[in-house]
Amino acid sequence: MTVATQGDLSTLTSKELHHKIVNGDISVMELVEIFLQRIEKYDPQLNAYITVVQDQARTQAIAIDNKIRSGELNHPLAGVPYALKDLFCTKGILTSCGSKMLSNFISPYDATVYDKLNHAGAVLLGKVNMDEFAMGSSNENSFYGAVANPWDITRVPGGSSGGSAAAVAAGLAPYSLGSDTGGSVRQPASYCGISSIKPTYGRISRYGMTAFASSLDQCGVMARSAEDMALVLHAISGFDGKDSTSAMMPVPDYSETLNDSLAGLRIGIPKEFFAEGLDADVAKVIHEAVQKFTQLGATVKEVSLPNSHLSVAAYYVIAPAEASANLARFDGVRFGYSCNDPKNLQDLYERSRWEGFGDEVKRRIVIGTYALSSGYYDAYYLKAQKIRRLIKNDFVAAFNEVDVLMGPVTPTTAYKIGEKSDDPIAMYLGDIYTLPISLAGVPAVSIPVGFSDNLPVGLQIIGDYFNEAKLLNVAHQYQQVTDWHRQSPSQFSGV
């Protein structure tokens, strides 16, 4: 089932592709053509892309080839193609958020991350599928249909950044930007056997990234290696005057510290992440991965995050409450879907919203509106925010004792398409290991560390606020002595 195909261009890292371009082994144009052909050939089985921008990619490729040759452009991502989750605004290109509500929305402006990657000379291949408005853990809640997992196309790729994960895993893009509110880059990366990072809340500007839950949302990077994530994260991070919640913190060169030794690294294992509910085979793979770090000189001790079991409850109040406010802007008047023949203004609002949103989004809007309504605010939203403080304090205490925390990303590997789609509660409970990190706002990476029944297993490495450099260093050192991140599904191999 698995092959380590080092020579195949579609399995190379962004760093390796950039070197090939600079060395003259391949032009940006040739590289872009290869990826466009692969998308045409393989995407019908996966449904990862909502929009492919062939013409724009070719035009951009010519311009970047010239700029690289003339020496005008020397960014380490120059010429390397990529895909954007379909919630990042891209001028002149559909930005659907996986929703009927925005199935006609051509953004009049660019997201800051897209703008930054354009300046770096990166080439956009297209916009990738996602759960509607990033609400979901399986990518089954998309107006554009479910996405398949490249390791087993009868299974989900995870969500909500399922299109990003499937595209990178199948070699239909070297990297992709996703968004993570409760685990939406880490969980699909884990299910699809690729690397991802959800940085600290506020690390990356969210200007032009469609809002779901504003106190949680953060852009994340999904790629083939920690080294690639270091390059992309460096390119897109930093304060942005257009997003007042972005952090005014210096952006280190994450590549510079990748090779630091792990001797003396203190790893904490949160015991709550290994309690009942974790699949025994997944637990075994995770323990083996942690063992590898001790061979690299790290020490391991058990720690406790005593309030982490409250994360699902607190999250499913806070996220829907904020979503209900953010999604109030969709009114059928200014942009997006508008119902036919509205009888009056109320009918226009109520029917446009009922017809334009899918079921999961509507469920969360109702829950959120209820939690914020008169008489219930203290019992739900305020209570959840207090519990959020307790969860944050758990992490602050843990990082007084250890440098990083390690555990599983998900309790199981990828499940079958349709298996949980009628049971939202079962789906929510699958987020148990990613939600505490989102609520605390700390950064975490997930990297592939093995297989269980031929399906990828991801390790989650959690760091202290703004310590992305340490996480990438730790992940990179692991990837120097293992090759799980170089495995690709054989079904999609070959140029």
Partner 1 sequence: MSIRQAEVVKVAHLARLAIPEERLEGYTHTISDILDLVALMNAVNTDGVLPLSNPLDAVQLLREDVVTETNQRELYQSIAPRVEDGLYLVPKVIE
239 closest CA partner among 6, 466, 76? 466
Tell me how far, at minimum, the Cβ of 302 lies from partner 1, in Å.
23
Q: In whole angstroms, give the CA distance from residue 392 to residue 86.
A: 30
Cβ closest to partner 1, residue 322 vs residue 403? 322
Tell me how far, at minimum, the Cβ of 224 lies from partner 1, in Å.
29
Cβ closest to partner 1, residue 188 vs residue 202? 202
DSSP for 301-366 reads: EEE--TTGGGHHHHHHHHHHHHHHHHGGG--SSSSS---SS-SSHHHHHHHHHHHHS-HHHHHHHH
Chain residues that interact with partner 1, rule: CB under 8 A: 104-106, 108, 200-202, 215-216, 241, 244-245, 247, 307, 309-310, 312-314, 316-317, 324, 328, 331-336, 338, 342-351, 353-354, 357, 362-363, 365-367, 369-370, 373, 380, 382-390, 392, 424-425, 428, 439-442, 465
- CB burial class (10 A; 0-12, 13-18, 19+) of residue 71? exposed
Beta strand 81-85 with 123-128 is parallel
CA atoms in the 13 A half-sphere facing the CB of 220: 40
Tell me how far, at minimum, the Cβ of 445 lies from partner 1, in Å.
18
55 closest CA partner among 77, 33, 78? 33
Cβ closest to partner 1, residue 253 vs residue 347? 347
CA atoms in the 13 A half-sphere facing the CB of 386: 7
Cβ closest to partner 1, residue 70 vs residue 334? 334
Is 242 labeled as catalytic in the residue annotation?
Answer: no
The catalytic position among 160, 205, 246, 438 is: 160
Cβ closest to partner 1, residue 44 vs residue 108? 108
Is 160 labeled as catalytic in the residue annotation?
Answer: yes
Q: In the 3-class helix/strand/coil scheme, how is 174-217 assigned residue by residue?
A: CCEEEEECCCCCHHHHHHHCCEEEECCCCCECCCCECCCCCCCC
Q: From residue 27, give the alpha-carbon distance in Å to each of 17, 34, 117.
A: 10, 11, 19
Tell me how far, at minimum, the Cβ of 196 lies from partner 1, in Å.
19
Beta strand 218-223 with 195-198 is antiparallel
Tell me how far, at minimum, the Cβ of 108 lies from partner 1, in Å.
5
Cβ closest to partner 1, residue 266 vs residue 351? 351
Q: Residue type at 270? A: P
Q: From residue 196, give the alpha-carbon distance in Å to each of 39, 208, 461.
A: 21, 21, 10
Token pair, residue 286, equals 């995770």
The catalytic position among 184, 246, 338, 352 is: 184
Is 190 labeled as catalytic in the residue annotation?
Answer: no
Which residues are the active-site residues?
A: 85, 160, 184
